[in-house]
């Protein structure tokens, strides 16, 4: 895919019915759809297509600005796991994060492996353990059920009740198990990274 998903949203002319000179996000999105269609169509003619799992996922949404530091609706990104000969189509309704992608795909492959993944195989975890990680350059968010914890520099902590349309600020409780859980996830990741624990397993 040759498109840029940031301004000026340029892409080759003649591929879609929106000229590249329009410099619009709509054109960039439509060209992306076109590129994915072309890729899958060409791949479907290959002998390895029936035994291949295709994963197409975004790294971020079109923007992260909002009324709160981490507007959760702006972190909802598309992810397609596509293998028509191997996987039945389904729309995943549970909370998942990008870090859940690798263990979930390996689980679909019935793959036995050792790892230090912090993500979950979404098809094998017990209901209620689903969670989402979102972040900006300084704010780190942890969403579980309908509550979002935001950890910020200087030990600032905020909590929000999240619905599909709004984030309502709720009183911060330092003894909240969810706050401790959020801190534990991020501190554990930091410790493992800083101490070289994420080196490849042999």
Sequence spans of domains, the chain: 1-45, 46-194
Q: What is the mean pLDDT of residues 126-151?
A: 91
Q: Express each pLDDT in 22-74 by its tens digit.
A: 888 889 889 989 999 999 999 999 999 999 999 999 877 766 555 566 888 78
Residues 121-126: contacts with CB under 8 Å, at least 24 apart: 122/92, 122/94, 122/96
DSSP per-residue codes, 53-84? -EEEE-SS-S---SSSSS-GGGG---EEEE-T
Calculate mean pLDDT across residues 174-187: 91
pLDDT given at position 43: 97
Comparing 71-80, 124-133, 187-196, the range with the smallest average pLDDT is: 71-80
Check whether 165 has a pLDDT greater than 70.
no
**What is the β-pairing status of strands 79-82 and 156-162?**
unpaired
Please, what is the average pLDDT of the chain? 86
Instruction: Flag whether pLDDT at 3 surpasses 70.
Output: no
């Amino acid at each position: 895919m040759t498109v840029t998903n940031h301004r000026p949203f340029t892409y080759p002319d003649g591929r879609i019915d929106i000229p590249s000179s329009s410099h619009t996000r709509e054109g960039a999105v439509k060209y992306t759809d076109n590129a994915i269609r072309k890729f899958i169509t060409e791949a479907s003619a290959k002998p390895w297509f029936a035994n291949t799992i295709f994963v197409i996922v975004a790294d971020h949404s079109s923007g992260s600005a909002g009324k709160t530091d981490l507007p959760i609706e702006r972190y909802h990104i598309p992810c397609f796991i596509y293998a028509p000969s191997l996987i039945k189509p389904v729309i995943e309704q549970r909370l998942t994060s990008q870090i859940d992608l690798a263990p979930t795909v390996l689980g679909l492959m019935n793959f036995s492996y050792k790892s230090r993944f912090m993500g979950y195989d979404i098809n094998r975890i017990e209901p209620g353990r689903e969670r989402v990680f979102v972040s900006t350059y300084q704010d780190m968010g942890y969403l579980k059920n309908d509550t979002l914890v935001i950890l910020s520099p200087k030990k600032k902590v905020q909590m929000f009740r999240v619905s599909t349309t709004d984030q309502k600020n709720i009183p911060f409780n330092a003894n909240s198990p969810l706050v401790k859980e959020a801190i534990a996830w991020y501190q554990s990741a930091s410790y493992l990274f800083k101490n070289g624990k994420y080196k490849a397993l042999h």
